């Protein structure tokens, strides 16, 4: 692709580089390999599912020229859809909770999306989006889809979410590591990255261990008691059923506090030059936990999910 002129920026999605986090792990036995998904055009891994869902809908004849696309988003899937819909000629409506960082709403608007912001549930702090908040967003997304006779991208149910990572991200990981993967982990958002990558990696080597990362105060998927659903790790940990999450691939669960996610995201920026968001900090914090414990000596692969630029208004980055 290096010497090829692309017909649109959507063709630049995927094939992201992988970096060895050697500075964060210099005193540890084992390695962390980070796939830099924030280098996609929309600065997140969600560009992949946006492209996959739209192209699968086109192939199925569900999506036709000049149609409108609607989706619930914390901002990243919406940004990917704004990009893909923009270059393909579809109208896009993003429905997002007011609890998510406003950088993402402004970016989607800049990319041509219509952004509908939904009030949070009573008592939900700004910057801490719960499953209850997301249920309110879902209600509005359904209403708009019906009113406009639109195509609902539906990242929490559409198999294109899994396919994007099964057919592409997982395959890229396997090739980039030459198959030298012991562990894969991911923070639970929609569950698509975890299921898609785990499916492909375990196809090549059934012995690869796959860990699902959760907020420490909202350990819903591991069945533990929640102490605070309003955590700070935006883009996941919603404490709700995820139809695309295949628990058969889960070796175990890792729990990360808000403070750990923030601290490691900041270290990632200072020591590795990787400017990423909350969930990326959570992924790397979980990997460090494993290298210090039961996965000592392992090669751990994870994704850097999105850019720190999307959180400049939050307390992730001190002023």
User: Which of the residues are catalytic?
Assistant: 46, 279
| Phi-psi region at 66: left, alpha or beta (left = phi > 0; alpha = psi -120 to 50) | left
**3-class SS of residue 51:** helix
Query: CB 56: neighbour CB atoms within 10 A?
Result: 16
Best CA proximity match to 71, nearest among 123, 33, 129, 116: 116
CA dihedral 170, 176, 179, 184 (to 10 degrees): -50
Give the residue among 126, 129, 105 at the shortest CA–CA distance from 117. 105
Q: With 0-12 CB in 10 A as exposed, 13-18 as middle and 19+ as buried, what is 148?
A: middle
Element (H, E) at 198: helix 192-204
CA angle 171, 172, 174 (to 5 degrees): 65
Q: With CA atoms as reference, report the closest residue to 129 among 95, 176, 159.
A: 95
119 near 136, Cβ under 8 Å? yes
User: Which residues lie closer than 8 Å to 267 by C-beta, 6 or more apart?
Assistant: 24
Q: What share of the chain is helix, strand, coil (3-state, %, to 5)?
A: 40, 15, 45
CA pair distance 173, 158, nearest whole angstrom: 23
Q: What is the rounded CA–CA span in Å between residue 263 and residue 225?
A: 24
């Amino acid at each position: 692709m290096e010497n090829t002129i692309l017909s649109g920026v959507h063709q630049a999605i995927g094939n992201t580089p992988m970096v060895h986090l050697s500075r964060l792990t210099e005193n540890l036995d084992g390695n962390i390999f980070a796939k830099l998904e924030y280098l996609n055009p929309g600065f997140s891994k969600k560009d992949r599912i946006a492209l996959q869902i739209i192209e699968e809908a086109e192939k199925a004849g569900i999506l036709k020229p000049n149609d409108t696309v609607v989706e619930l988003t914390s901002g990243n899937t919406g940004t990917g859809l704004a990009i893909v819909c923009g270059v393909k000629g579809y109208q896009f409506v993003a429905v997002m909770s007011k609890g998510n960082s406003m950088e993402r709403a402004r970016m989607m608007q800049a990319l041509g999306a219509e952004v509908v912001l939904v009030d949070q549930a009573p008592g939900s702090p700004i910057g801490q989006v719960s499953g209850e908040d997301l249920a309110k967003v879902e209600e509005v997304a359904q209403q708009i889809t019906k009113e406009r006779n639109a195509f609902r991208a539906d990242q929490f149910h559409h198999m294109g979410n899994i396919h994007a990572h099964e057919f592409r991200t997982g395959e890229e990981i396997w090739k980039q590591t030459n198959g030298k993967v012991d562990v894969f982990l991911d923070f639970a958002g929609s569950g698509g990255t975890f299921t898609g990558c785990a499916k492909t990696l375990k196809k090549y080597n059934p012995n690869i261990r796959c860990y699902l990362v959760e907020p420490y105060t909202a350990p819903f998927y591991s069945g533990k008691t929640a102490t605070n659903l309003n955590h700070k790790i935006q883009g996941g940990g919603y404490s709700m059923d995820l139809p695309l999450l295949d628990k058969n691939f889960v070796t175990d669960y890792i729990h990360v506090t808000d403070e750990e996610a923030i601290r490691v995201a900041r270290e990632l920026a200072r020591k590795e030059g990787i400017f990423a968001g909350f969930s990326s900090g959570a992924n790397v914090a979980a990997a460090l936990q494993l290298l210090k414990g039961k996965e000592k000596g392992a090669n751990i692969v994870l994704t850097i999910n999105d850019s720190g630029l999307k959180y400049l208004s939050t307390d992730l980055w001190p002023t």
